[in-house]
Structure 1
Amino acid sequence: MTITTSTPASVDPVSADEDILALARRQVLDDGVGLGYEQLLQVLRLDEERLPELLQLAHDVRLRHCGPEVEVEGIISLKTGGCPEDCHFCSQSGLFTSPVRSAWIDIPSLVEAAKQTAKTGATEFCIVAAVRGPDKRLMTQVAAGIEAIRNEVDIQIACSLGMLTQEQVEELAAMGVHRYNHNLETARSHFPNVVTTHTYDERWDTLRMVREAGMEVCCGGILGMGETVEQRAEFAAELAVLDPDEVPLNFLNPRPGTPFGDLDVLPAAEALKAVAAFRLALPRTILRFAGGREITLGDLGAKQGILGGINAVIVGNYLTTLGRPAEADLDLLDDLSMPIKALNDTL
């Protein structure tokens, strides 16, 4: 599938005599067709009293079009801090006063992290680096890390190494990278307020090359970065055009020393409405709980999200912030009778 950069045409809003959730039930649940921008905007503007109904519909869509299994993933930072880009949410930027120092992890530590991830039942292990894009040293380290992990751990390997050249895309595909993560982060219209050192289109170009090389595309973003409700709907609609295999949903955890360090945490109800809306825009996509869910939603909200459209989680810690203990997420999935997706189901 070729990725275009056009924003999807707006779908006419629901007529006055048909409720948006009734329309979504017919269009998304029954027919498997995701909601468009205008429809998503109406979902995001629903009164809070209708949140349980919305979450139930999103859960029904997830079960019908994705099944009950939950994909579990762990992540590790191969190269932390010192990034030259100015992503306003990120404490790894070398341009801010955030207290994250530049550091590399060695190959034995990388392999051990993969082993510990696999012990949780995870099928995916993502190697992440805080860079604009990989240089020769980083590509060499990634290749060595992937080979070492493959020799000892039975797990799919993903990478998130910033913007790529065509040659680098081909190298990663030849290494057997299963999935490549590169987030668009937010709606195109809001992107210049979040990042100024590169463009939305540069990120889109990397995603296009990744798909054309045969790797799975992982692309999501962060909610709560000062975007409007309209831009939240825009972002979901843009992701629907991209049609990624996976969408990680992060919620801003304001980091001291970053331009977004003083923003308020997104209210839980708004976050849960967004989770459901993204599911209704992307009925067949892996929708993953990622960073910031702990501070935004807490334990109860995490349960509501998993029962409101989520079908994948990152377990353990994130790149620069603490997550929930892996056991807590695994116990929650067990309590909800949601099986963890087996490795042979991801091949």
Structure 2
Amino acid sequence: MSATAEEQHGTTPPASDILAIAREQVLERGVPLDEAQILQVLRTGDDLLPELLELAHEVRMKWCGPEVEVEGIVSIKTGGCPEDCHFCSQSGQFTSPVRSVWLNIPELVKAAEQTAATGATEFCIVAAVRGPDERLMSQMRDGVRAIKESVPGIEVAASIGMLTQEQVDDLVDMGIHRYNHNLEAARSYFPQVVSTHSWEERWDTCLMVRESGMELCCGCLVGMGETVEQRAELAAQLGELQPDEVPLNFLNPRPGTPFGDLPLMESSEALRTIAAFRLALPRTILRYAGGRELTLGDLGTREGLLGGINAVIVGNYLTTLGRDPQEDLDLLADLKMPIKALSSSL
């Protein structure tokens, strides 16, 4: 790679230049930042963080609007997963204290009803599996049918691992409107995170989902020891995939996992990451997901909602505790951010 004029003369442009570029390119024209530009944003200092967050919020408001999508999640099958994702306490390969549990249909419907009662418009069914077998697909059919009959005012999403084309088609027939399958990490860092399947397998499932007509929810987990260069790479790869939604998780180190002793990400770094992802994905739903409570706390959670976030998961996560849903709903009301209305397709 050839050196820039600034590098040849031993100087680098001011960090504030990338914010001016982002304001014209992303805010005014709606053109996402590329990987090199994302990296520049991630390298800005804390002195520019307030300006960066304000810009990311302006981008979110212009290209996504003020509404916030609220979602609840429940695991239909918890623990005992054969994969070795190094951050996950649901892996059967680690000593993490998560036992294998299946929900029955009445429990699933009750969870959907409780989610709807919080004001959430989205309910996601999750399973800790490599991919669904026929038992799981059958339970999904029965569960989705029962939820639609009992809770008609909620959209049903799913996250049940890597899929075949036939399984993608079955989920479409069930009425699943959105499917979640995270890339988790940049392609270059993925082998340090998972050894039992490849980044390419995840990518292929995401492509099938996107082409099926279901909305694609594809996110990541940051703070796993990746470099800022790899974080920029990940944001650019998500931009290439063009998902409808990106859940942004922050590592909450789980005892018994290979990443159990990693430190929490600094809150300023987490906020800078949120803003950078918004500038890389100006029109995408960017959702607060796991780890935000520990990483950001109450004040940081508020700053993130004013720095590019426009969706939240309320209540508990799959293996970790979240905030009281009412706290998030009260915060949205205080910020005068309306909850996104139900899809007119329901």
Scaled by the length of structure 1, what TM-score is found? 0.95
Per-residue CA distance 1:22-68 (angstroms, 9 max, x = gap): 00000000000000011111100001111000000000000000000
Please name the residue that 2:58 is paired with.
60
Shift of 1:211: 1.2
Local SS of the residue matching 2:343: helix
Q: 1:123 to 1:190 in 2, by over 3 A?
A: same
Please name the residue that 1:113 is paired with.
111
Matches within 5 A, 1:39-118: 39-118=37-116
Per-residue CA distance 1:210-259 (angstroms, 9 max, x = gap): 11111000001100000000000000000000000000000000000000
Please name the residue that 1:300 is paired with.
299
Shift of 1:16: 3.3
1:224 correspondence with 2:223: yes
Work out whether residues 133 and 164 of structure 1, in 8 Å CA contact, stay in contact via their aligned partners in 2.
Answer: yes
Q: Distance in 2 between matches of 1:187 and 1:102?
A: 29
Local SS of the residue matching 1:76: strand
Q: Distance in 2 between matches of 1:34 and 1:221?
A: 18
Bigger Cα displacement from structure 2, 57-66 vs 13-22: 13-22
Per-residue CA distance 1:126-145 (angstroms, 9 max, x = gap): 00000000000000011100
Shift of 1:122: 1.1
Please name the residue that 1:131 is paired with.
129
Work out whether residues 89 and 194 of structure 1, in 8 Å CA contact, stay in contact via their aligned partners in 2.
Answer: yes
Please name the residue that 2:185 is paired with.
186
Paired residues in the alignment total 336
1:337 correspondence with 2:318: no
Q: Distance in 1 between matches of 2:344 and 2:317?
A: 25
Matches within 5 A, 1:202-221: 202-221=201-220
Local SS of the residue matching 2:84: coil
Work out whether residues 169 and 209 of structure 1, in 8 Å CA contact, stay in contact via their aligned partners in 2.
Answer: yes
Work out whether residues 13 and 38 of structure 1, in 8 Å CA contact, stay in contact via their aligned partners in 2.
Answer: no
Shift of 1:345: 5.8
1:145 correspondence with 2:137: no
Q: Distance in 2 between matches of 1:121 and 1:262?
A: 36
Q: Distance in 1 between matches of 2:5 and 2:129?
A: 41
State the 4+ residue runs in structure 1 displaced beyond 4 angstroms: 12-15
Local SS of the residue matching 1:343: coil
Match of 1:19 among 17, 20, 35: 17
Please name the residue that 2:9 is paired with.
none
Please name the residue that 2:31 is paired with.
33
Work out whether residues 124 and 157 of structure 1, in 8 Å CA contact, stay in contact via their aligned partners in 2.
Answer: yes
Q: Distance in 1 between matches of 2:45 and 2:292?
A: 22
Percent identical: 71
Q: 1:13 to 1:106 in 2, by over 3 A?
A: farther
Work out whether residues 275 and 309 of structure 1, in 8 Å CA contact, stay in contact via their aligned partners in 2.
Answer: yes
Local SS of the residue matching 1:222: strand
Please name the residue that 2:320 is paired with.
321
Work out whether residues 272 and 308 of structure 1, in 8 Å CA contact, stay in contact via their aligned partners in 2.
Answer: yes
Local SS of the residue matching 2:67: coil
Give structure 1 stretches of 5+ with no counterpart: 1-11
Shift of 1:297: 0.3
Amino acid at match of 1:300: L
Q: Distance in 2 between matches of 1:95 and 1:220?
A: 24
Work out whether residues 70 and 341 of structure 1, in 8 Å CA contact, stay in contact via their aligned partners in 2.
Answer: yes
Local SS of the residue matching 1:250: strand
Amino acid at match of 1:270: E
Matches within 5 A, 1:162-173: 162-173=161-172
Shift of 1:123: 1.2
Q: Distance in 2 between matches of 1:178 and 1:306?
A: 25
Work out whether residues 37 and 233 of structure 1, in 8 Å CA contact, stay in contact via their aligned partners in 2.
Answer: yes
| Cα RMSD (Å) | 1.4
Local SS of the residue matching 1:302: helix
Amino acid at match of 1:204: W
Local SS of the residue matching 2:71: strand
Please name the residue that 2:260 is paired with.
261
Please name the residue that 1:285 is paired with.
284
Q: Distance in 2 between matches of 1:285 and 1:30?
A: 16
Per-residue CA distance 1:108-152 (angstroms, 9 max, x = gap): 111111111111221110000000000000000111000000001
Q: Distance in 2 between matches of 1:346 and 1:27?
A: 34
Work out whether residues 289 and 312 of structure 1, in 8 Å CA contact, stay in contact via their aligned partners in 2.
Answer: yes
Amino acid at match of 2:242: D
Work out whether residues 123 and 346 of structure 1, in 8 Å CA contact, stay in contact via their aligned partners in 2.
Answer: no
